[in-house]
Amino acid sequence: MALNYDLSEDQQILRDSVRKFAEGEIKPMAQELDEKESFSVELTRKMAEMGLFGMFVSPEYQGQGMDYVSYIIATEEIARVDGSHAATIAAGNSLGIGPLYYYGSEDQKRKYLPKLCSGEGLWGFGLTEPNAGSDAGSSKTSAVLDGNEWVINGSKIFITNAASPISIGVTVQAVTGKRDDGRPELSCIIVEHGTRGFEAKEMHGKLMWRSSNTGELFFDDVRVPKENLLGKQGDGFHQMLATLDGGRLSIGAMGLGCAQGAYELALRYAQERIQFGKPLCKFQANAFKLADMAMEIEAGRLMLYKAGWLKDHDRPYAREAAMGKLYCSELSRRVSNEAVQIHGGYGLMKEYDVERFYRDAKLLEIGEGTSEVQRIVISRHIGC
């Protein structure tokens, strides 16, 4: 079968429509929302109307039934304009909807997915804890079966989409016992907002993604029906790893979009800014920076789209997802850094979008597995 690097007609239409939406609807509000650290329900609803939630979910559950490459393209185009709203999309799909879609019972899917795919509500994935970040297997949040109910105690932190005005629930990873080898048995359990003992608090004072929603979750003798177990008891760690594999594609897309947006800002500024009688881009030092940016972005796009293609064709993709996430997240940092450098002093001012891109890039090297963790994943795949 011959290689084909062309997007399908549907994928190209999707890119064009999402780009137009991001430029017309998100860009005019991005700076103000970032400054006020304000989550926009209005823009989230509009993104839902665009079909940006439940992109890979079957139409049977009110999803869009698209492939993962299309999902990557859409996330990339939102991130090209604003990282916060790309984070809402990425977490909403990969971390919120994904586990319910892939591991939920038929009743759970029919109960929650239509609301999440339509944007009526958002859903979080409760994994990270104050003392369990990269070492997610060391979670201390516990769930004990008491009759026909799970009793959950513990806390989670840095959970996207879990404390917004339209958040309706979370999938919580909790310790539900011990395995035969002595390690903790981890399971995932559904908890709806409004459940007694469950509290979600918004987190503020963030460096980046200031208009996305980030929350702390607290569970104090939270009781939910035993039917709220997601999949089988003890499958939580496997579910978490598989969820993160898919999530890495969306974080990679955010890195790619961030890099593309920062590059375009730098190129335009370098073409317009006159110093010593000529545009900045005519100086070799700047021209070479921009050439390197363009080259690395193209390499990142090829790497990430390949990972998405592998997933779409039901082939192993965990290694490529880790590579794509690692490369594109670090790419966003390198490109945004050089973009600020090209802007000079103006690049340090909030009125210039490149300043926001510079801040937003940093989280991509931390969220969904740090760069160090990605290197561990890759090294294991190559036999180290």
Reference 110, options 102, 118, 101; nearest CA is: 101
**What is the 8-class DSSP label of residue 374?**
H
Structure tokens at 134: 């990269």
**What is the 8-class DSSP label of residue 348?**
G
Reference 32, options 218, 283, 212, 211; nearest CA is: 211
Burial class from Cβ neighbours inside 10 Å (0-12, 13-18, 19+) for residue 318 reads: buried
- Radius of gyration of the CA atoms of the chain, in A: 21
Reference 74, options 21, 4, 6; nearest CA is: 21
Q: Name the pairing type of β-strands 167-178 and 122-126.
A: parallel
Structure tokens at 251: 């974080």
Helix (H, G, I), strand (E, B) or coil at 2: coil
Helix (H, G, I), strand (E, B) or coil at 48: helix
- Respond yes or no: is residue 9 known to be catalytic: no
If you search the block for the tokens 């989550």, which residue do you land on?
A: 39
Reference 377, options 311, 325, 301; nearest CA is: 325
**Rounded Cα gap, residues 26 and 253, in angstroms:** 18
Catalytic residue among 76, 77, 129, 368: 368
CB-CB contact of 324 with 249 (8 Å): yes
**Rounded Cα gap, residues 160 and 124, in angstroms:** 6
Q: Give the DSSP H/E element, type plus range, for residue 308.
A: helix 284-312
What is the SS3 assignment for 108-152? Answer: HHHHHHHHHHCCCCEEEEECCECCECCCHHHCCCEEEEECCEEEE
Q: Name the pairing type of β-strands 198-202 and 214-225.
A: antiparallel
Residues noted as catalytic: 368
